[in-house]
């Protein structure tokens, strides 16, 4: 960069630190992408929308929508070497573009912060259930008990706040340590352990007695069951599953060494994210079917159906606890990525100590999260807009409005505003078919797809 906020350091390093290698970035970004939704949402949506037909469309959407936008977001991060807000400030200067494009950074940082406020609440549930499964609470339990246990927990704001606090403290502790001392160390442990636990639980699922039903539920090819709605759901999941539009990938991109291939790394991240989602389904649904339970429980699948299933099975307490450890690992790797964009910006803006900023952000996020806690009990009858509780409203605004708009703006800025020379240098493009494909995807296919996702999610929620 020849001018702007990043020029004083040059474009080869970030003041916050750098990933020590390609695989650390891949694991960190995959950790950001692999979250609570991967564990239950993708497998269930596949089963309900044509199985293998849905998976094929989903993979196509990942290739045509998810990967190009993720490449664009990483590209912007590495080009700017700053927090998303200051990266966009610097790039609008070097591109001689309108300062309105800086809203990409602001919207991503705000969306990530809002998501983290309620994500910490839900992740706290997973921590609580590690203990509940491990101490044998669900051993021999029936459906009524499992439902009552979950509802009683939601009705107890004190207990929910306790586990929300534990999760938030873990997140703050990790991000306060910095890129190499905190993020990398956490990723080095959590991601391999997550994958090992996933394989262990897959083995347990295979031997549960319901594996064939689980495979059939997820992979039977039923094009009639897919329909237009199924295609749109697949398109939306391909976008949302990769953590796009919330600043996390742009922030992580700022720490990527210059000699690392963005294209190869992003493709690897997308493959890892998809594999985890599929394997999670193959681990979970055989257990559900083996116990004669219904798979259509949505989020309740994790906190009602699965505890009930584990409670009926040999060594269920052990493997049930391991399952929620897996869920917690997925949640913590996502949470630290949600914290990083806002933290990096405040460190840059005020030259503040990283640990102090991390604690301050954690406290603010914790306080905001109380609104989500109380949405399930004390304020359950209070509606912010229409029939939406505070939790519903924050989730709707951040996920359905801010993220698609952020993803759309990222594609358009990279495709039409950022100088072509910068894009070519970052992606190693030298003309020909690769550059034609890149321009077609980032300028036409991805923006149109994200606009479709945006319109569909608004229509679906209003309808």
Residue 385 pairs with which residues in a beta bridge?
388
* 15 occurs within a structural domain: no
Give residue-wise pLDDT tens across range 159-197.
Answer: 999 999 999 999 999 999 988 888 999 999 999 999 999
* 93 occurs within a structural domain: yes
Residue-level pLDDT at 46: 86
Q: What's the token pair of residue 155?
A: 């009705």
User: Does 320 or 456 have the greater pLDDT score?
Assistant: 320
Of all residues in the chain, the percent with pLDDT exceeding 70 is 97
pTM of the model: 0.92
Four-point Cα dihedral 246, 251, 252, 254, nearest 10: 150
Angle at 396 between CA 391 and CA 398, to 5 degrees: 100
Which region among 173-177, 383-387, 446-450, 455-459 has the lowest average model confidence (pLDDT)? 455-459
Reported confidence tier of residue 255, pLDDT bands at 50, 70, 90: very high
Give residue-wise pLDDT tens across range 125-152.
Answer: 999 999 999 999 999 988 899 999 999 9
* 5 occurs within a structural domain: no
CA 190, distance to chain mean position in Å, is 15
* 6 occurs within a structural domain: no
* 16 occurs within a structural domain: no
Range among 3-12, 28-37, 194-203, 263-272 rated most confident:
263-272
For residue 390, the enclosing domain spans 22-462
Q: What's the token pair of residue 436?
A: 């034609």
Give residue-wise pLDDT tens across range 53-99.
Answer: 999 999 999 999 999 999 999 999 999 999 999 999 999 999 999 99
- Rounded mean pLDDT, 445-454: 94
In the chain, how many domains are there? 1
Indicate whether 1 pLDDT > 70: no
CATH number at residue 250: 1.20.1740.10
* 436 occurs within a structural domain: yes
Residue-level pLDDT at 463: 59
Q: What's the token pair of residue 38?
A: 């991967």
| Separation CA 1–CA 116 (nearest Å) | 32
């Amino acid at each position: 960069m020849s001018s702007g906020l990043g020029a004083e350091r040059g474009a080869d390093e970030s003041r916050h630190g750098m990933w020590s290698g390609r695989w650390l970035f891949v694991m960190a970004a995959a950790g950001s992408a692999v979250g609570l939704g991967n564990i239950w949402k993708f497998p269930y949506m596949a089963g309900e929308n044509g199985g293998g037909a849905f998976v094929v469309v989903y993979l196509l959407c990942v290739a045509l929508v998810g990967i190009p936008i993720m490449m664009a977001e990483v590209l912007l991060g590495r080009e700017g070497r700053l927090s998303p807000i200051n990266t966009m400030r610097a790039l609008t200067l070097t591109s001689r573009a309108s300062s309105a494009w800086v809203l990409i950074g602001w919207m991503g940082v705000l969306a990530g912060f809002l998501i983290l406020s309620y994500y910490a609440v839900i992740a706290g549930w997973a921590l609580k259930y590690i203990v509940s499964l491990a101490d044998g609470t669900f051993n021999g339990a029936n459906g009524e008990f499992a439902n009552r246990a979950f509802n009683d927990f939601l009705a107890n704001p004190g207990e929910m706040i306790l586990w929300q606090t534990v999760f938030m403290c873990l997140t703050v502790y990790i991000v306060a340590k910095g890129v190499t001392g905190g993020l990398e160390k956490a990723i080095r442990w959590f991601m391999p352990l997550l994958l090992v636990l996933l394989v262990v639980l897959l083995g347990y699922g295979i031997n549960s007695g319901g594996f064939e039903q689980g495979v059939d539920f997820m992979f039977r090819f039923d094009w009639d069951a897919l329909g237009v709605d199924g295609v749109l759901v697949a398109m939306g999941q391909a976008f949302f599953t990769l953590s796009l539009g919330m600043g996390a990938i742009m922030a992580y991109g700022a720490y990527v060494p210059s000699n690392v291939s963005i294209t190869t790394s992003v493709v690897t991240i997308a493959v890892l994210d998809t594999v985890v989602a599929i394997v999670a389904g193959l681990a979970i649904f055989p257990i559900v079917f083996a116990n004669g339970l219904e798979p259509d429980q949505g989020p309740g699948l994790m906190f009602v159906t699965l505890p009930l299933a584990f409670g009926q099975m040999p060594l269920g307490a052990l493997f049930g606890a391991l399952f929620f450890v897996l869920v917690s690992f997925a949640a913590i790797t996502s949470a630290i990525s949600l914290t990083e964009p806002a933290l990096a910006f405040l460190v840059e803006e005020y030259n503040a100590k990283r640990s102090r900023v991390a604690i301050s952000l954690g406290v603010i996020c914790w306080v905001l999260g109380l609104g989500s806690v109380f949405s399930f009990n004390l304020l359950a009858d209070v509606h912010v807009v229409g029939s939406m509780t505070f939790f519903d409203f924050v989730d709707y605004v951040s996920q359905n409005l801010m993220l698609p708009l952020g993803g759309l703006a990222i594609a358009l800025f990279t495709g039409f505003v950022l100088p072509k020379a910068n894009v070519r240098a970052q992606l190693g493009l030298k003309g020909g078919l690769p550059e034609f494909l890149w321009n077609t995807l980032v300028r036409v296919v991805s923006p149109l797809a994200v606009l479709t996702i945006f319109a569909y999610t608004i229509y679906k929620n209003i309808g």
